Amino acid sequence: MYVVMQEGKARCLRVEVPMDTLIVGEFESFPLIGEPLGSSNPYAQVDPSSLQTLFYQRPFGIEVTIKGSQEEIISQKVYPPSSRFALSAPVGGEYGICFVTNTTAWYNPLRFKMEIILQTGAEAVDYDDVASKEHLDALQLEARKLNDRAHGIRNEMAYQKQREEDFRSTSESTNTRAMWWSVYQIVIVLASVYFQLKHLKGFFRKKKLI
């Protein structure tokens, strides 16, 4: 996917994975060429060659921050404008991955295009590298791929089962609280009626109506 980045402003993506799932991200930055005239980009009317010169001469890095489901920071590191990162998910859940330049500018902030590729599980593994390092032939490599996919499917099934159990537990807890809240409201109403009747009975006795 492509996103338009502006110096100092973050762009975030979210991915949900089971525990121990490999998350690999690759990103590449390009000069932003072809914006319509009158856009907020101060370089919009610069010819492409000059724009590329401005882009590549302006030193900046990309800070990649990975956060867990509770917004805790799991990883935070500055990379070159085009780079790659990898992380094994410590727990199952939703992860936020944010990209922002490590520079800011109050005037004429740099705008550029970034291509981001996120892969998870077996699809994130570089099997050519695995085959080279572990000296695997074609058959062994295919067996490794199948094993990794099966492992990923088992992890996904276990994660979905755990999510279902958590959802059921939350639903049961909510239903229990709702039931006790209803009981509490009924008790309050009955108590209110009792005291109102008692008050009216005393009032009528004072007026000698009963």
Percent of the chain exceeding pLDDT 90 equals 21
Domain locations in the chain?
2-124
The domain defined by 2-124 folds into Jelly Rolls (2.60.120)
Checking if the pLDDT of 208 tops 70, the result is: no
Average pLDDT of the residues of the chain: 81
In this predicted model, which residue has the larger pLDDT, 1 or 129? 1
Radius of gyration from C-alpha coordinates of the chain: 30
pTM exceeds 0.85 for this model: no
Pick the closest to residue 66 from 115, 120, 111, 136 (CA basis).
120
Q: Which residue would you say has higher pLDDT here, 130 or 42?
A: 130
pLDDT band at 45 (very low <50, low <70, confident <90, very high): very low
pLDDT for position 23: 92
Tokens of 114: 């970034």
Confidence of residue 55 (pLDDT cuts 50, 70, 90): low
pLDDT of the residue at 47: 44
Q: What is the pLDDT of residues 101-135, one digit of tens each?
A: 988 877 777 788 899 999 988 887 778 877 787 77
Is pLDDT above 60 for 77? Answer: yes
Which residue has better confidence, 140 or 13? 13
The pLDDT-based confidence of 44 (bands split at 50, 70, 90) is very low
